[in-house]
């Protein structure tokens, strides 16, 4: 007796359950990451203003260094998910192990560069004479944790590829709790000051990396996957990650240009821009959670040779992105009277902030589509196209943004340029999705 084919409504419900089961824990893990810095800031802030200024500079440098290597998570997720879809868990975990070895190599290289260059890097960021020694101390100690941070990125990609976003959430919560306790104990209990904050964070990061490695090693032994480094596999991981590195650097350039332009507009404008950027980043976490689900699910469908299934779930995720963007935009407008006074009591900053905030709210559905399609194409291993698309977007955005101070319009015009950037991204990603060229099936792309 043949089973009746699933109805379109039943298929949508199945997709929805899978998206939610992956996206919700992913969102929790993403939100846990910036909480590390908030805890450090709260604890170090009581030591004094120079210490807090030093922490801010060192943290910005570390965040930039680590964000550049986020491809370790993205590329590993796509590669592992394909092999899961193909039914080869041994090869999936082996691919993940190669990604972790690449993370260790890159981490060691970054530490070797950062330790001697720390004073110069702090100086380039414009640290004052009083803040510079604290920034250098924090940067040098914290850089020792970079290999652990990169291992966490790669191992997170392994688990996402295995369709597991709950374990990264649990590890992130445990790491957050350990970081807070260690910081308090070392900064005040042991009297180590800002150095204690740095050591506390490093210990927590290595603890998180150890937890991930335990899970990966257990999976490797269960499925008979080798844990030894293989040059060919490490090269394959680097090759897959290189285009995503270009994409990430291009996106960082967009954000740096926007901040530089805001600084030229005036103090009130740059203060308002920083507030909006913080809110924009927070909303990006929610949309990025759907994108992470997309990376894992799309990779699995393509690995299973199911191009039609991949296209269907892509369409459903785009709908999720649009609805999520609308909800976030409405929330931003409705809750505006509540959160704006929390950020600033300066009426000049508030007056500058409000019209630009409306532009951001209206653009959120566009952002929803962009994040989802970005995740879909990453899951498909379509890195080279993403790199070229982001370079094109940067080429369009840069001259428009740089003209804002000359042509006028202030911060609202700058965030209009940011919206144009997102529209260009959406157009390039939508064109690729419609072309179907990303639908390459098989255990490897």
What are the tens digits of pLDDT across the range 86-124? 999 999 999 999 999 999 999 999 999 999 999 998 888
pLDDT digits (tens, 9 = 90+) for 159-205: 999 999 999 999 999 998 999 999 999 999 999 999 999 999 999 99
- Separation of alpha carbons 245 and 242, rounded Å: 5
Give how far Cα 158 sits from Cα of 81, 102, 167, 259, 351, Å.
Answer: 8, 13, 11, 34, 46
pLDDT digits (tens, 9 = 90+) for 193-202: 999 999 999 9
| pLDDT for residue 393 is more than 90 | yes
| Greatest mean pLDDT range, 6-20, 281-295, 332-346 | 281-295
Give how far Cα 293 sits from Cα of 111, 339, 341, Å.
Answer: 32, 30, 35
The pLDDT confidence band at residue 326, using thresholds 50, 70 and 90, is very high
Tokens of 82: 């394909």
Continuous segment of H or E residues that includes residue 110: helix 89-124
Instruction: Give me the mean pLDDT over the 325-353 stretch.
Output: 86
| pLDDT for residue 2 is more than 50 | no
- Contact (CB, 8 A) for 102 and 72: yes
The pLDDT confidence band at residue 64, using thresholds 50, 70 and 90, is confident
**32-43: buried (b, 16+ CB within 10 Å) or exposed (e) per residue?**
beeebbebbeeb
3-class secondary structure per residue, 320-331:
HHHHHHHHHHHH
3-state helix, strand, coil in the chain (%, to 5): 85, 0, 15
Instruction: Give me the mean pLDDT over the 374-381 stretch.
Output: 95
Instruction: Give me the mean pLDDT over the 49-61 stretch.
Output: 84
Instruction: Give me the mean pLDDT over the 283-289 stretch.
Output: 89
3-class secondary structure per residue, 169-224:
HHHHHHHHHHHHHHHHHHHHHCCCCHHHHHHHHHHHHHHHHHHHHHHHHHHHHHHC
- Contact (CB, 8 A) for 361 and 279: no
Tokens of 19: 């998206």
Q: Is 284 exposed, middle or buried (0-12, 13-18, 19+ CB in 10 A)?
A: middle
Name, in order, each residue with C-beta under 8 angstroms of 353's C-beta and a sequence gap of 6 or more. Answer: 272, 275, 276, 340, 344, 411
- Contact (CB, 8 A) for 158 and 216: yes
For residue 387, the model assigns a pLDDT of 97
| pLDDT for residue 222 is more than 60 | yes
Dihedral of CA 347/406/389/424: which sign?
positive
Cα atoms in the 13 Å half-sphere on the side-chain side of 440: 15
For residue 379, the model assigns a pLDDT of 94
- Contact (CB, 8 A) for 417 and 404: yes
Tokens of 77: 């997720």
The number of beta carbons lying within 10 Å of the beta carbon of residue 408 is 9
The number of beta carbons lying within 10 Å of the beta carbon of residue 189 is 11
For residue 409, the model assigns a pLDDT of 83
- Separation of alpha carbons 305 and 50, rounded Å: 57
């Amino acid at each position: 007796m043949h089973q009746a084919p699933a109805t379109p409504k039943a298929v949508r419900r199945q997709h929805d359950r899978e998206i939610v089961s992956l996206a919700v824990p992913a969102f929790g893990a993403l939100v846990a990451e910036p909480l590390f810095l908030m805890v450090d800031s709260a604890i170090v802030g009581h030591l004094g203003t120079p210490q807090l200024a030093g922490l801010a500079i060192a943290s910005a440098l570390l965040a930039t260094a680590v964000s550049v290597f986020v491809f370790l998570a993205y590329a590993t997720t796509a590669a592992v998910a394909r092999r899961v879809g193909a039914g080869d868990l041994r090869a999936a975990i082996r691919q993940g192990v190669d990604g972790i070895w690449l993370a260790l190599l890159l981490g060691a290289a970054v530490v070797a560069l950062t330790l001697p260059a720390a004073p110069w890097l702090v100086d380039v960021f414009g640290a004052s004479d009083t803040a510079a020694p604290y920034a250098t101390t924090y940067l040098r100690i914290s850089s020792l944790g970079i290999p652990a941070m990169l291992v966490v990125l790669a191992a997170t990609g392994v688990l996402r590829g295995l369709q597991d976003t709950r374990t990264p959430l649990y590890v992130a919560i445990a790491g957050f709790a350990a970081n807070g306790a260690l910081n308090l104990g070392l900064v005040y209990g042991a009297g180590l000051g800002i150095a204690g904050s740095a050591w506390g964070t490093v210990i927590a990061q290595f603890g998180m990396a150890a937890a991930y490695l335990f899970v990966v090693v257990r999976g490797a032994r269960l499925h008979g996957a080798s844990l030894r480094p293989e040059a060919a596999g490490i090269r394959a991981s680097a090759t897959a990650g290189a285009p995503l590195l270009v994409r990430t650097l291009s996106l960082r350039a967009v954000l740096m240009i926007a901040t530089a332009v805001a600084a030229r507009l005036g103090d009130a404008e740059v203060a308002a821009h920083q507030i909006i950027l913080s809110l924009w980043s927070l909303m990006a976490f929610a949309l990025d959670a759907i994108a992470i689900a997309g990376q894992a699910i799309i990779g699995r469908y393509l690995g299973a040779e199911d191009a039609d299934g991949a296209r269907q779930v892509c369409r459903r995720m785009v709908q999720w992105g649009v609805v999520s963007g609308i909800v976030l935009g409405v929330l931003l407008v409705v809750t505006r009277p509540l959160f704006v006074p929390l950020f600033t009591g300066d009426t000049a900053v508030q007056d500058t902030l409000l019209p630009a905030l409306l532009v951001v709210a209206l653009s959120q559905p566009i952002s929803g589509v962009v994040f989802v399609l970005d995740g879909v194409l990453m899951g498909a291993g379509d890195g080279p196209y993403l790199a070229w698309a982001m370079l094109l977007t940067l080429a369009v955005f840069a001259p428009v943004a740089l003209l804002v101070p000359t042509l006028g319009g202030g911060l609202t015009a700058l965030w209009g340029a940011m919206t144009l950037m997102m529209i260009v991204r959406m157009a390039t990603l939508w064109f690729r999705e419609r072309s179907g060229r990303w639908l390459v099936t098989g255990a490897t792309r």
